[in-house]
C-alpha cells in the first residue's frame, strides 16, 4: 500500500477494521469448521454465525422476533434476491414494479431485466433528492407487487422519505413487498426499522468489513423463493457453505457501527459542515450539489464548473488523494442517469466529484483536499483541460 494516502472514497468501499480483520483470520485459522457440521467444532462455528446474524439484526434495529437475515456475497446479490424473489413470489398478484429513478444499478438493472420478463416498470422521480410522493401515490396500486427505493443515494447522499413511501405502499398496494437498498444508509441512518420494510439490503464493505459479504433482511412472514438450489443453508434461501470469515467480520463491524452510531454521526456532521465552509470560503465557483436537509452527512457531491471530473480525479489521485467521480460503479462509464435525474445538467454532472467520509477522516485531510482542489482548478484551467 502507498504511504500516507488521503481517502475520501468511503461510499465506494472502506478499509476493513483491524479487529474485524483479526476476527476473520481467527475464523479461517482456528474456528474453521463448517457451521452445518454435526460435531462440536461445527456447533462452535454455528455459534459465531448466530452471533453475526444477531449483530446485523441489532444494527438494523431488529431482533430475531422481527425477521431474519440471510447472508449473501454482496449488496448487489441482496438487491437481486429481493427483486427477483419478490417478483417470483408475487407474480400471480400483479405485474407492476415501482422503483425510484435514482437506484443503484443493482436495483435498476434487476428491475429492467424483470421488465423484459413482462413486468411493468415505473420509476418515481427524485429531483433535488426528494422522492415525488404524489407521483408515487398515483402509480402504486393494487396491481403493484414490489416497491423499491434506496435509503440513501450513493452519488448525492439524498435520504428519501421512506416512511411516507412505505405508508403509501401499505395503503395502495396490499399485495406489494416494500424493499429498501440500505447499502449506503446502514448504520448511518437511524430508525431503518421504522420504514416497516419487508426486505432490506445491506453490504459489509461499506462499514469496515471485508468485501464479498452482504445480507438481506426478510421480515417475519415475508416469503421469497430461493434463487440458488443446493444444500439449503441460510434457511434454504442461499445455498452454499457460509463465508464465515467475512460474515463474522461483518457482524462485528455492524455491532461496532451501531454501538458508535451517535459518535460517527456527530463526526460526519462536523466533517460535512467543515468541507462546505471551506469550499464556500476558499474556492471559486464550486457548486455543492448535496443539500443540508434531507441528506446523509457522509456523502458530499460537488461540481467544479469547467473541469471534467475524471481530470480532477486524476490530478488528486496523483497527489495521493482519493475521491470519486459520481459513483464508483458508473465512474468508468459515461452514465449520468442519477445525477441527471437529480436535476444536474450534463455539464454539471460531467464535472461532479463525490467526497465520502469514514470515521477515520479528519478536518486536516479536508484542508489538504480543498487546497489541492483549489490548486488543481487553477492549474487545469490554465492548461485548458
Ligand atoms: N446499492 C448501493 C446504494 C450501493 O452504493 C452499492 C455499492 O456501491 C451497492 C448497492 C452494491 O453493493 P456491493 O458492492 O456490495 O455489491
Distances (CA, A) of 106 to 80, 90, 179, 381: 7, 20, 13, 36
Best mutation site among 13, 82, 149, 184 for ligand 1 pocket (most ligand atoms within 8 Å of CB): 184
Q: Is 184 in the pocket of ligand 1 (CB under 6 A)?
A: yes
Question: pLDDT tens string for the chain (385 positions)?
Answer: 556 899 999 999 999 999 999 999 999 999 999 999 999 999 999 999 999 999 999 999 999 999 999 999 999 999 999 999 999 999 999 999 999 999 999 999 999 999 999 999 999 999 999 999 999 999 999 999 999 999 999 999 999 999 999 999 999 999 999 999 999 999 999 889 999 999 999 999 999 999 999 999 999 999 999 989 999 999 999 999 999 999 999 999 999 999 999 999 999 999 999 999 999 999 999 999 999 999 999 999 999 999 999 999 999 999 999 999 964 455 455 579 999 999 999 999 999 999 999 999 999 999 999 999 999 999 987 666 5
* CA distance linking residue 231 with residue 215, whole number of Å: 19
What is the bridge-based pairing of β-strands 352-356 and 324-325? Answer: antiparallel
Judge contact between 81 and 146, C-beta under 8 A.
Answer: no
Kindly give, in sequence order, each residue whose CB lies less than 8 Å from that of residue 248, ignoring residues fewer than 6 positions away: 23, 24, 27, 48, 49, 51, 52
* CA-closest candidate to residue 370, choices 325, 332, 323, 328: 323
Q: Is 102 in the pocket of ligand 1 (CB under 6 A)?
A: no
The protein residue whose alpha carbon is closest to atom 4 in ligand 1 is 183
Quick count: other Cβ atoms within 10 Å of Cβ 269? 12
* CA distance linking residue 238 with residue 25, whole number of Å: 24
The protein residue whose alpha carbon is closest to atom 8 in ligand 1 is 12
* Residues with a known catalytic role: 329
Q: Is 296 in the pocket of ligand 1 (CB under 6 A)?
A: no
- Distance, CA 203 to ligand 1 centroid (Å)? 7
253 grid coordinates = 463491524
Judge contact between 116 and 95, C-beta under 8 A.
Answer: no
Kindly give, in sequence order, each residue whose CB lies less than 8 Å from that of residue 3, ignoring residues fewer than 6 positions away: none
* CA distance linking residue 293 with residue 154, whole number of Å: 16
* CA-closest candidate to residue 157, choices 282, 272, 306: 272
- Distance, CA 330 to ligand 1 centroid (Å)? 11
* CA-closest candidate to residue 245, choices 31, 77, 72, 36: 31
Q: Which atom of ligand 1 is nearest to the CA of 77?
A: 16
Quick count: other Cβ atoms within 10 Å of Cβ 33? 18
- Distance, CA 50 to ligand 1 centroid (Å)? 24
Quick count: other Cβ atoms within 10 Å of Cβ 342? 26
* CA distance linking residue 96 with residue 165, whole number of Å: 16
Quick count: other Cβ atoms within 10 Å of Cβ 263? 10
Judge contact between 238 and 287, C-beta under 8 A.
Answer: no
- Could you tell me which residues are beta bridge partners of residue 199? 179, 218
Q: Is 75 in the pocket of ligand 1 (CB under 6 A)?
A: yes
Q: Is 359 in the pocket of ligand 1 (CB under 6 A)?
A: no
29 grid coordinates = 485459522
Residue 58 burial class via C-beta count within 10 angstroms: exposed 0-12, middle 13-18, buried 19 and up: middle
Kindly give, in sequence order, each residue whose CB lies less than 8 Å from that of residue 53, ignoring residues fewer than 6 positions away: 64, 68, 69, 71, 251
Amino acid at each position: 500500500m502507498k504511504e500516507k494516502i488521503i481517502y475520501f472514497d468511503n461510499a465506494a468501499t472502506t478499509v476493513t477494521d483491524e479487529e474485524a480483520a483479526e476476527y476473520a483470520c481467527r475464523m479461517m485459522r482456528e474456528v474453521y469448521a463448517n457451521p452445518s457440521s454435526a460435531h462440536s467444532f461445527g456447533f462452535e462455528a454455528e455459534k459465531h454465525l448466530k452471533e453475526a446474524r444477531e449483530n446485523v439484526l441489532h444494527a438494523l434495529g431488529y431482533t430475531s422476533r422481527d425477521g431474519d437475515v440471510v447472508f449473501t456475497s454482496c449488496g448487489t446479490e441482496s438487491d437481486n434476491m429481493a427483486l427477483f424473489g419478490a417478483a417470483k413470489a408475487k407474480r400471480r398478484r400483479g405485474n407492476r414494479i415501482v422503483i425510484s429513478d435514482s437506484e443503484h444499478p443493482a436495483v435498476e438493472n434487476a428491475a429492467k431485466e424483470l421488465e423484459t420478463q413482462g413486468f411493468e416498470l415505473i420509476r418515481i422521480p427524485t429531483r433535488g433528492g426528494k422522492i415525488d410522493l404524489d407521483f408515487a401515490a398515483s402509480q402504486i396500486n393494487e396491481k403493484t407487487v414490489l416497491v423499491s427505493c434506496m435509503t440513501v443515494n450513493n452519488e448525492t447522499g439524498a435520504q428519501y422519505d421512506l416512511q411516507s413511501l412505505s405508508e403509501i405502499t401499505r395503503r395502495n398496494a396490499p399485495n406489494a413487498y416494500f424493499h429498501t437498498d440500505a447499502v449506503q444508509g446502514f448504520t448511518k441512518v437511524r430508525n431503518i426499522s421504522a420504514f416497516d420494510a419487508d426486505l432490506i439490503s445491506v453490504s459489509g464493505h461499506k462499514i469496515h468489513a471485508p468485501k464479498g459479504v452482504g445480507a438481506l433482511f426478510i421480515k417475519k412472514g415475508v416469503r421469497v423463493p430461493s434463487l440458488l438450489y443446493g444444500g439449503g443453508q441460510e434457511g434454504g434461501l442461499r445455498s452454499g457453505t457460509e463465508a464465515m470469515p467475512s460474515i463474522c467480520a461483518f457482524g462485528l463491524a455492524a455491532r461496532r457501527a451501531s454501538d458508535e452510531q451517535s459518535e460517527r454521526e456527530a463526526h460526519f456532521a462536523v466533517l460535512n459542515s467543515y468541507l462546505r465552509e471551506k469550499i464556500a470560503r476558499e474556492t471559486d465557483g464550486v457548486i455543492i450539489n448535496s443539500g443540508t436537509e434531507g441528506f446523509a452527512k457522509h456523502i458530499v457531491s460537488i461540481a467544479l464548473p469547467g473541469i471534467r471530473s475524471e481530470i480532477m480525479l486524476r490530478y488528486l489521485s496523483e497527489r495521493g488523494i482519493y475521491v470519486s467521480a459520481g459513483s464508483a460503479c458508473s465512474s468508468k462509464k459515461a452514465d449520468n442517469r442519477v445525477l441527471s435525474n437529480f436535476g444536474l445538467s450534463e455539464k454539471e454532472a460531467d464535472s461532479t466529484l463525490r467526497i465520502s467520509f469514514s470515521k477515520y477522516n479528519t478536518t486536516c485531510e479536508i484542508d489538504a483536499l480543498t487546497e489541492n482542489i483549489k490548486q488543481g482548478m487553477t492549474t487545469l484551467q490554465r492548461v485548458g483541460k
